[in-house]
Structure 1
Amino acid sequence: MTNYTQKLTAWLHDPAEKQLVLLRDPAGHEGGTVAALSKLLELNRRKFDKRADHMAAAADRPNWPRDAHAGRYPAFEAVRFGHCAELIHPLSGERLALPGLELDVELDDIKKQSQAHFQSLIREDDRRTFLAFWRFGPEIPQGDDVQVGALWPLLPADSRTPDHSIWSHLDTVSAIHTALAGDENGPDQPALLVMSFGPVQGFIGQARSTSDLWAGSHLLSTLVWEALRPIVAELGPDVVVFPNLRGVPLVDAWLMQDQDGGPALRDLFERYGSPLLGREDDRNPLFAASLPNKFLAIVPSRQAQALAESALQAIKAKALEWAEQAAEKVFEAAGRTINDVTREQIRAQLADFPEGYWAAATWPLLKEDRSDLHEVAGKLQEVLRQIHPNLAEQGIFEPAIWQLLSKELELEGLHFLRPNAGILYPAVHALAERHLAATKALRPFAAARYEGHRCTLTAEAEWLTDDREHLGLNRTERNARSVWGELARRKPSWVKEGEHLGALATLKRMWPTLFAERVAALTGTGAETVRRFVVSTHALAISTSLENVLEELQDPAKPQRKAAIENALAHLPKELARFEPTVLPHRLVQAVHKAGLSKHLDDFKRLPAALEEQEDKANKADSDSTLRTLWGDVRPETYYALILMDGDRMGGWLSGADKETRLQYRKTWHSQILGKMDLLEQQHPALREYLDTHRPVSPGRHGAISQALNDFSSRIARHVVEECCKGKLLYAGGDDVLALVAVDDLFDAMQLLRLAYSGLAPDPAMQLDAFVGGLDGLKGTKPSKPSKPFLLSKGWGYLDGRLMTLMGAKATASMGAVVAHHTAPMGMVLRELRAAEKQAKNTRRPVPADLNAGGEGNQRNGKPKEYDRDAFCLKVLKRGGGAVTVTSPWWAGKPGEPDLARSALALMKQLAQELALTDFSRGAIYRAQLWFAGLTDDEGDRDNELWRERIACSLSAQFQRQKGTPEVARNVVDFVCDAMRPRHPRTAIENFLATSEFFAREARAIKQGIRSSATQESRS
């Protein structure tokens, strides 16, 4: 068992406030909080293996040249963080200056606050104390006199390279220290263990409802935690480099529960107001799928195989256990009992679920004098060369890096610190990743023998039964005699008539019920009070019309319409009483309360069921007069939207294979260090190649990516979809987002998600740097300026008092979006959604000649450089048949520099607004399309000035004739030809116009500007 006393010693080797006391405290940074806590916890600091600290520092911090006679720490390295504080974004290199910090942070005060903070976290044993320190150490200390506030979680580990936090460094040191300590067989060496699980897309895509869609993604995420659990229980959560587990709801739930028969950390979660304990519906963070299907951990080398096998055993055992529980509930509800026949079916169908793969690579150590660096590195390099020759020249082995760090390059008057084994992390990581890829390529396959009819959801396995003779019955007999036929009669909310499900489909269908019981056990409430609510597609569609009704009620210019709506609302309770209520988007519920109509909320929830009945009537004109009065002259909305967003090149971000995702060495140093480097570079031109080289991957970089994805998926994506827009987040794990959105909020949701992923502000009012100013709102709990809940800038985000590092301007994301009728089969809509996302990923366009992307010229491998991905594909699936598709980059120009005035979504919204709110007739769109039929549609037409002038002039004339704005027509033509660069420009222009016209129809008319009113109100 892991020695948690040693882990505590390692984790406390540096104080959290190190950069605020360094060069200020006469006792040194180790003489304050560290010494006090070590004494209080009776820790022997002499047992701390300093190799862990040295390896972590070498892996995360760049080496820089020093004057040969300047001593160990020359003056230019003495960066006083409080005096000239700045944070460097670890993924984009953007700098966030924090002026005047030292003036507002008293030395004694920050030491007292830090010590008091950690003392309040001490538990009755070292294991629980370590877990409390790890989880709540980065939480902002409580109290009215807190001086650093939102900066506390981002305080850097090193003021000279402020691109990784002290918490990341402490975690890495603790993980390496744990690996070095070994086990009962003695000391060991670290290894990188990487594991991956599946299937993912195929399993999630097998869905017939939004509930199935949520259940598939959430179930896989929960299973990944079950695989991680034995590793975390054995070694601690700090050893998991990716994903970062701090703040993950499933991990928090584990920390709350009793462990080893003793009290857990529940009181700390109560103290900090954890939403896991305060919410009993699906807005509880536990209902959010937040773990990706892959993880990376630092483990003892000798234990790597055993840990991987225990993870595989745990995930398979838990999947089988839950599948049997799901079947038991189904059979019990149908008045039956599962027997050996059913259990054998379940075991057979889950024999290979989930798929799991692993690989491990040892992180070699060096002799104390490091004289064997070349020998050890040479062996690593040779192994990589055997996998692929290029790997031996990448990462730490790039010539410009290796020559300097291995002292092959002599520079007169300069020297580099002798590197240790920490610098080999990139090579070890590459080795583990390549072995994992090879393992997945050799996946075994065992054919299964099935009889009779297949599962109606997956069509892959037998449906579950207690009598195998039932498998061969015809449809009528199956429905009359099978468990599923009886269940459909007793529990139509679980299965519909004719559905017969296999083991995996049963688990997915029952997962909402099973997981709600787990949440109830955690929150201490009854299982009947915790419900998994899912916004149905019809409820989401109708939310657009309901919001329009609320706006009309508050419009003083429409007194007659207001009176008609109030009269309809008075009759709703009686006429809708017989319909079942459903769930409405949270944003709409807030709007209902704000409008003072809380008493009608239950009526609004019954409207989707009433409208479904109305749609089934042959003569809709004679249907319910109250509903006709409620909607007025506009038919209620029947379309909704699905969004699927995925970060681009995430594998490249983690592996560092793409140089453009990595920072140059010169961009990772504090401005004070960088100034000295500029002088040294002028004196020693040989340094330039090293300074321009892109840094390889490191634990800090992996931790930064993980934390950015955690904050985006668990906090910001939900805020955008459910608070800023009328939507429902179905899945947000890392860089993946799957969400339902009302059609009138679709443009806002798409644009905000893309911007928030990179931490880019949509307008000046949301600029973080403008708000920071003197740090009033970030340092303390009593800002002199009004605090705004949602700000973005330069790769950082600020939400609900929390400052977060997001993916940055270098990171891009692609998105598929589908608009469909609420009655469209979910399986078909999901196929179209996957196809749309794939189409967005395959988007390519040349870099404009006047743009110099990344400062590296417009050539790549001798060819013109292209932007690829960083696009969206929007499909409108019309109920009457046919689809209209727009595939476009997010905006014109560079990916990391959003010009929202020249973006496809802003242009479509502008055109839709003109069509909806002015006398501009939609007939102009149809007439233009008829005229377009006589034009060519070739790729060369994009750059044909005569062709473009003809089509722009014709479209402008049509717009002007119909009282529209002629400039919009020319803007559309220019954007399609210059930014979208389609192969068939005329068709692309037609689809652009047709899509805008669809969003201009009365039921879904978009009334706001770049952001919806919901977005604006959420920030006020």
Structure 2
Amino acid sequence: MDDNTFWQLKLHARLHDPAEKSLVLLRDPAGHEGGTCRALQRFLSRAPLAAEAIGSADSPALHGAVFTQGVPREQYETLRRADWWAAAADRPQWPLEEISVTTRSGVQKTLKVADWAQVNWAKYPVLIHPLTGAEFDLGRHGGLKDTDLKDIKSRSLQHFASLVLRHGDQVDWQRTLLACWRFGPELREEEDFGKLGELWKVLPADTRVPDHSIWDHLDLTSAFAGAFGADPDGEAALLTLSIGPVQPFIAAARSTSDLWAGSHLLARLAWEAMRPLCEELGPDAILFPRLRGVPQVDLWLRDDCGLPPALFTDCDWTRGATDGNPLFTAALPNRFVAVVPRARAEALARQVEERVRSWLLGCGKTVVDRLLTEAGLETPGEAHCHRQLRDQLAGFPEVHWAVVPFSLIRPRNPARQTDLDTTALSAAMAPFFGVEPGQPCGFLASPAWQVLQRETVWADNTTFFSPNPGVLYPAVYDLAERVLAAAKSVRSFDQTEQTGWRCSLTGETEWLTTEPAQLCQSYRRQTDTLWAKIAERQPAWAKKGEHLGALSAIKRLWPTLFAEEVARALGGKGFRRFVVSTHTMALSHQLDRWLHNGACLADGCADALARYDPEPVALPRRLLRDHQGKPALAIARRLAGLLERAADLDEPQEAERLRRLVKDTLLGRSGRLETYYSLLLLDGDRMGAWLSGDGPKGLDPDSGQPPLPGPVAAGGRSYRDGFHPRVRAGFDAHASRQPLLQAYAGAPRALSPNRHLAISGALNDFSLTLVPQVIETEFRGRVIYAGGDDVLAMLPVADLFPAMQRLRWAYSGNDPDQVSGDRTGLVLRDGFALLRGRLMRLMGTAATASAGAVIAHHQAPLGAVLRELRLAESRAKNEGGRDAFCLSLIKRSGGTRQFTAKWGEGEPVALLCALRDFLADPAVSRRAVYNSLEWLKDLPEPDGNGAMLEQLLAYQLTRQSEGKTATNHDVPDLARRLTALALLQPKDRIDWLENALAVAEFLARQGRTAGE
């Protein structure tokens, strides 16, 4: 199949159902396939027509004789098969009843969907959350009452017609397909048309099972059609691929700028790995992660694929400098799942491996050339450091992949793609499940498959058809994941000889040099090395004494290279080397107060700024927003830069003078500069189980709350949970005498591509939109990495706890403390988010996340801080039992405190903040905590109701408050809540209480309360 026909096939697959399908079913005499989609398909397949010809779906100019259902005949069977597979993979099968139809040739038997299994969704608009099963009856809120059928069809037709792109008089099939994939879900409406709004993005694909959108179905149909069309035998396969290593690559960092660079570079490598598939098969071939709306992918669509720039004018990445541009957020995970042609699967995986490594090598060569130029060491030929680069990057990154073909499943009835033979699939699965060949395992042993594997006839002669191969997606995916895990466990390494002095950052490879002899002695004794010259001329690339290997050098220069790349792409200035400073983050709260209070400079500070001319540093986005237009904002950047400059000075007295000038500027003669900052690491719980279909069940029917933490409930929601309420009663009545069908309806819903697309879409919205909103807009933090369910962010100490709690609620899409009309504009409710008119479907109320956090001095070694951060996250998941957080407080004076608690039990975040505010009251002595810690050492573990502990705690806190805080703080209530929360801990309750008091006391010290 030539390229032109291939992209035409995919586009017709994407247009086989109209986006407004759910709104026209049972209302439009032409049927859902006879209106908008057929008009578009015929329009695309004919000679060019005038723009007026697309004004009506019923225009006679659009009718032709070479089509079947509006599709070129030679493509129809492929598209129908792709539609069947996509439908079977994403939704339960439905009974068809036999009816008689009178035609010219006589009475014929045919099949139709039973009347009880049909839903007029425009009249009964119900949406079901795909991950939790929560129902949303839009009719109760006045939705869809005035939907005009003709108006909806007309607007849909005009919308998609505007996305048709041409080369001269010919349709450009590839660019049109990409435009429809990217912007089809974004209906541009006039101000006077408010009937659909954000509902357009979540319109269901099947009104009977309204838990997945029409866009999910169209994406999957296009993916299958592309795989079938690009394979000589019309066969598809599932490809899973991952790159790594992840943690060692990111953790090798001396500064938070290194940390950002490692995270961002890894996300960029992930995109370069996905790019070959996007170029050859289209971005819809990748099921996880969903790439729609990812800024780096948008940039590719615009600049490499040639989509009109006007389509992207409303995208945030097209505007804004370094401090706030989404392109600077690492937002892609290191693995993907894709539908590919079976015959080309291995070649595509090899192509990915070659592409990602060649891209990194090219990036490395650019880095080495820049270093040599800056150091004045250019040579006519190849320098020794070029050879070192090739040797050290050989085999990096590691690429692991697995392919499972759907051809392991053979329909015994090819014409109907039914009556499936799973012998080959079962044999392939057996070794990975530890069973004998032929013994059912995995999905093949599930109750659902016991029903679906054979044709079932109901008592009223209604036939419940057995599925096509698409319904075995869960078995194919499960096998692919197990094969990938096996591939990772048997990976081989090419040994590289490294004999000289090693990289000062990783200690693993030789540092780059132009003279091999320099590697024979310590670089501390040499002043003419490549890196010594770089440290003198470009201190942002290397500090004095640093000598870096190839990977470390690429990470160090990546902020510069990427900023230049973005500047070229966006044609603007203001993109500079991306700098993230722990000291600036520690000061951000005090800088904010200074800007609010008039921004006056202390005597001598202006002269110091003029003399040292420090490099401006990046500030949190919220500071930029709150003080936009103030001239003092530029001074604030340079004040933070002056502190960075002071840290590099060799004269201690001068460095101390500069620090004092900054302190006097921000705080006056009294007070101390904040020197502590925090790192936050949040990770979704049991993401592997969610992806494999074993996520927790939805809301408890009695309490209306998520299930209690504990082992994952295998299988999650049942098939019946996904039925429209008006379908369930009819199904139950017809299945009442069919035990197998009752078992099917109650069986755990199997994994589906829709589940992957729903999870990927939710994680995209969370990481790309909500994480920056919470961390950088609602609070004064900086996102370092946000890829899917993983978040790494830096925050001032004053913002850590409220930001951490808000981020946890944003992950599931439900904030129990949500205030109506919140000034931030973000509303989180029932698994959805609404931000500035944009509706986002998130993981849902049953999804949980755990977080680790560290508070550390800005001069603490970053490597040690990151290790403690990982340990804190581990404690939250293990000691905390997931859906928990753990804070590690690393004091510069020595010692570490850990505090672990569940998010919701006893509201620990709110309690800690209340205790902090109490201790920050000037009338309260810090001895309230010190004395309590002393007598707690001799107290036995509390039992019963903890009455004695509560009374002693209330007495001690009241005693040290001098009786002046009664009107501001409810001290007895604080003691009660602390005691109640301590009693919820499974063990070491006294230790837990000591840590809570110590952490609150540290947070209450000057400059660390959010209300200042």
1:931-950 equivalences in 2 (<5 Å): 931-936=935-940, 941=941, 944-945=943-944, 948-950=946-948
Identify the residue that residue 931 of structure 2 maps to in structure 1: 927
Instruction: Give the whole-Å Cα distance in 2 for the aligned partners of 1:622 and 1:87.
Output: 60
Tell me the alpha carbon deviations over residues 870-919 of structure 1, each in whole angstroms, 9 at most, x when there is no partner: 11110111111111110111121xxxxxxxxx221111011101111362
The one-letter code sitting in structure 1 at the alignment partner of 2:204 is P
Secondary structure of the 1:194 match is strand
Shift in Å, 1:962:
2.5
Identify the residue that residue 611 of structure 2 maps to in structure 1: 578
Preserved CA contact (<8 Å) 1:760 1:792: yes
Secondary structure of the 1:481 match is coil
The one-letter code sitting in structure 1 at the alignment partner of 2:19 is A
Correspondence for 1:805 among 837, 841, 844: 841
Instruction: Give the whole-Å Cα distance in 1 for the aligned partners of 2:404 and 2:600.
Output: 72
Identify the residue that residue 898 of structure 1 maps to in structure 2: none
Identify the residue that residue 988 of structure 1 maps to in structure 2: 992
Identify the residue that residue 1018 of structure 1 maps to in structure 2: none
Preserved CA contact (<8 Å) 2:244 2:334: yes
Instruction: Give the whole-Å Cα distance in 2 for the aligned partners of 1:660 and 1:244.
Output: 25
Q: Does 1:968 align with 2:978?
A: no
Shift in Å, 1:166:
0.6
Instruction: Give the whole-Å Cα distance in 1 for the aligned partners of 2:857 and 2:872.
Output: 17
Alignment TM-score, normalising by the size of structure 2: 0.87
Identify the residue that residue 589 of structure 2 maps to in structure 1: 544
The gaps in structure 1 that reach 5 residues or longer are 554-564, 772-785, 845-867, 893-901, 1009-1020
Preserved CA contact (<8 Å) 2:875 2:900: yes
Question: How many pairs align?
Answer: 925
Identify the residue that residue 286 of structure 1 maps to in structure 2: 327
1:189-268 equivalences in 2 (<5 Å): 189-259=235-305, 263-268=306-311
Correspondence for 1:55 among 85, 104, 112: 85
The one-letter code sitting in structure 1 at the alignment partner of 2:725 is S
Identify the residue that residue 115 of structure 1 maps to in structure 2: 157
1:612-623 equivalences in 2 (<5 Å): 617=653
Preserved CA contact (<8 Å) 2:813 2:844: yes
Change (3 A) 1:763 1:476: closer
Preserved CA contact (<8 Å) 1:395 1:696: no
Preserved CA contact (<8 Å) 2:420 2:468: no
Identify the residue that residue 429 of structure 2 maps to in structure 1: 384
Shift in Å, 1:371:
8.6
Shift in Å, 1:611:
4.6
Secondary structure of the 2:421 match is helix
Correspondence for 1:175 among 223, 228, 231: 223
Instruction: Give the whole-Å Cα distance in 2 for the aligned partners of 1:571 and 1:395.
Output: 73
The one-letter code sitting in structure 2 at the alignment partner of 1:533 is F
1:463-612 equivalences in 2 (<5 Å): 463-478=511-526, 480-525=527-572, 529-549=574-594, 553=597, 568=601, 573-574=606-607, 576-579=609-612, 580=614, 581-593=616-628, 598-611=630-643
The one-letter code sitting in structure 1 at the alignment partner of 2:426 is Q
Secondary structure of the 2:253 match is coil
Identify the residue that residue 890 of structure 1 maps to in structure 2: 903
Shift in Å, 1:502:
0.4
Preserved CA contact (<8 Å) 1:758 1:795: yes
Preserved CA contact (<8 Å) 1:243 1:295: yes
Preserved CA contact (<8 Å) 2:333 2:787: yes
Correspondence for 1:718 among 751, 767, 772: 772
Change (3 A) 1:905 1:348: same
Identify the residue that residue 58 of structure 2 maps to in structure 1: none
Shift in Å, 1:656:
2.0
Q: Does 1:423 align with 2:471?
A: yes
The one-letter code sitting in structure 1 at the alignment partner of 2:112 is R
Instruction: Give the whole-Å Cα distance in 2 for the aligned partners of 1:52 and 1:375.
Output: 17
Change (3 A) 1:619 1:155: closer
The one-letter code sitting in structure 2 at the alignment partner of 1:880 is S
Preserved CA contact (<8 Å) 1:132 1:265: no
State the identity %: 43
Shift in Å, 1:575:
5.0
Q: Does 1:875 align with 2:888?
A: yes
Q: Does 1:646 align with 2:683?
A: yes
1:662-811 equivalences in 2 (<5 Å): 662-680=716-734, 687-765=741-819, 789-811=825-847
The one-letter code sitting in structure 2 at the alignment partner of 1:726 is R
Preserved CA contact (<8 Å) 1:117 1:142: no
Tell me the alpha carbon deviations over residues 216-274 of structure 1, each in whole angstroms, 9 at most, x when there is no partner: 11111111111211111111111111111111112111111144xxx43323223xx22
Moved more, 950-959 or 373-382: 373-382
1:150-169 equivalences in 2 (<5 Å): 150-169=198-217
Preserved CA contact (<8 Å) 1:752 1:762: no
Instruction: Give the whole-Å Cα distance in 2 for the aligned partners of 1:177 and 1:55.
Output: 10
Correspondence for 1:32 among 10, 35, 50: 35
Preserved CA contact (<8 Å) 1:255 1:266: no
Change (3 A) 1:637 1:807: same
Instruction: Give the whole-Å Cα distance in 1 for the aligned partners of 2:431 and 2:660.
Output: 74
Instruction: Give the whole-Å Cα distance in 1 for the aligned partners of 2:551 and 2:645.
Output: 33
Correspondence for 2:953 among 952, 955, 958: 955
Change (3 A) 1:906 1:724: same
1:427-438 equivalences in 2 (<5 Å): 427-438=475-486
Tell me the alpha carbon deviations over residues 515-547 of structure 1, each in whole angstroms, 9 at most, x when there is no partner: 122212211236xx4214333111111112233
Preserved CA contact (<8 Å) 1:179 1:190: yes
Tell me the alpha carbon deviations over residues 786-842 of structure 1, each in whole angstroms, 9 at most, x when there is no partner: 998311111111112211111112221111100111111111111111111111121
Alignment TM-score, normalising by the size of structure 1: 0.87
Instruction: Give the whole-Å Cα distance in 2 for the aligned partners of 1:301 and 1:756.
Output: 39
Secondary structure of the 1:1004 match is coil
Preserved CA contact (<8 Å) 1:83 1:101: no
The one-letter code sitting in structure 1 at the alignment partner of 2:979 is V
RMSD: 2.6
The one-letter code sitting in structure 2 at the alignment partner of 1:116 is Q
Instruction: Give the whole-Å Cα distance in 1 for the aligned partners of 2:530 and 2:853.
Output: 38
The one-letter code sitting in structure 2 at the alignment partner of 1:404 is V
Change (3 A) 1:114 1:520: same
Identify the residue that residue 699 of structure 2 maps to in structure 1: none
Moved more, 279-288 or 923-932: 279-288
Instruction: Give the whole-Å Cα distance in 1 for the aligned partners of 2:659 and 2:257.
Output: 30
Change (3 A) 1:566 1:550: closer
Preserved CA contact (<8 Å) 1:909 1:1006: no
The gaps in structure 2 that reach 5 residues or longer are 47-66, 101-110, 167-171, 696-712, 962-968
Preserved CA contact (<8 Å) 2:86 2:221: yes
Moved more, 678-687 or 882-891: 678-687
Tell me the alpha carbon deviations over residues 151-177 of structure 1, each in whole angstroms, 9 at most, x when there is no partner: 111111111111111111011111111
Change (3 A) 1:622 1:745: closer
Moved more, 498-507 or 20-29: 20-29
Instruction: Give the whole-Å Cα distance in 2 for the aligned partners of 1:755 and 1:461.
Output: 43
Preserved CA contact (<8 Å) 1:193 1:299: yes
Shift in Å, 1:477:
3.2
Identify the residue that residue 344 of structure 1 maps to in structure 2: 387
Identify the residue that residue 120 of structure 2 maps to in structure 1: 80
Preserved CA contact (<8 Å) 2:599 2:632: no
Identify the residue that residue 964 of structure 2 maps to in structure 1: none
Identify the residue that residue 187 of structure 2 maps to in structure 1: 140
Instruction: Give the whole-Å Cα distance in 1 for the aligned partners of 2:1002 and 2:98.
Output: 70
Instruction: Give the whole-Å Cα distance in 2 for the aligned partners of 1:188 and 1:20.
Output: 33
Shift in Å, 1:53:
0.6
Instruction: Give the whole-Å Cα distance in 2 for the aligned partners of 1:252 and 1:417.
Output: 41
